[in-house]
Amino acid sequence: MTHVDQFVARTRVSFVWNYERDEEWLTSLSAQGQHLVKPGTFRYRFEQDASVRYVYRLDYHQIKEKGQLDAYYALFEDMGWEHVGSNMGWHYFRKPCVEGETSTPIYTDRSSLIQLLKRVQLMLIVLAFANVPIMFVNIFNVWNWNDRSQTISGVITSVVVLQVLVVILLSYGSVCFQRKIRRLAGH
């Protein structure tokens, strides 16, 4: 097998509630010969190689302890999943495609899939709540600086607008995950 050392970087904006779509995106790019080697928040690095084809899967765990993280990767490795990279608690795995094998899920029962969705949802809720007090401090500051400096109050206002947007997105995300969980639990 000859390796073509050619790297491609791609930019993609995606939302956490579409993580399954990211798996499909990575798997379909792999079918075209571009395989993810380094995930990022918006920038992804790919390697070109027409001789292989992978299925990509994402998992979410906040594991801080080194030994625990090694054991986690080792378990996936034993089951045929190569760890490609991690970004903000999301772990990217891949496995060579097998002809005739239609789906290779890493979550094979409802209760563990619900646990995954709940972990992600909790992270979104924590981030949203962490933003709220800072937002209020900023709103207070806008009002405070208003008579002293229009420039400073303008800058803080744009920060507040951005924060409101972030909190709305995080809240929307947690609602999306709530829907996914309810759909699974009620099934």
Residue ranges in contact with another protein by CB under 8 A: 57, 59, 61, 67, 70-76, 78-79, 81, 93, 104-109, 111-113, 115-116
Output the DSSP codes for 5-31: --EEEEE----GGGHHHHHHHHHHHHH
Q: Which residues pair with 90 in a beta bridge?
A: 60, 87
> How far from 91 is each of 3, 17, 85, 146, CA to CA, in Å?
25, 15, 6, 45
What's the closest the beta carbon of residue 39 comes to another protein, in angstroms? Answer: 17
Q: How far apart are CA 173 and CA 128, in angstroms?
A: 10
Cβ closest to another protein, residue 45 vs residue 119: 119
Strands 7-11, 82-87: parallel, antiparallel or unpaired by DSSP?
unpaired
Q: First and final CA of the chain: distance in angstroms?
A: 46
Cβ closest to another protein, residue 56 vs residue 93: 93
Burial 17-33 (b: 16+ CB within 10 A, else e): bebeebbebbbebbeeb
What's the closest the beta carbon of residue 115 comes to another protein, in angstroms? Answer: 5
Cβ closest to another protein, residue 113 vs residue 166: 113
What's the closest the beta carbon of residue 30 comes to another protein, in angstroms? Answer: 18
Strands 34-38, 43-48: parallel, antiparallel or unpaired by DSSP?
antiparallel
What's the closest the beta carbon of residue 132 comes to another protein, in angstroms? Answer: 30
Cβ closest to another protein, residue 5 vs residue 109: 109
Cβ closest to another protein, residue 104 vs residue 171: 104
What's the closest the beta carbon of residue 18 comes to another protein, in angstroms? Answer: 18
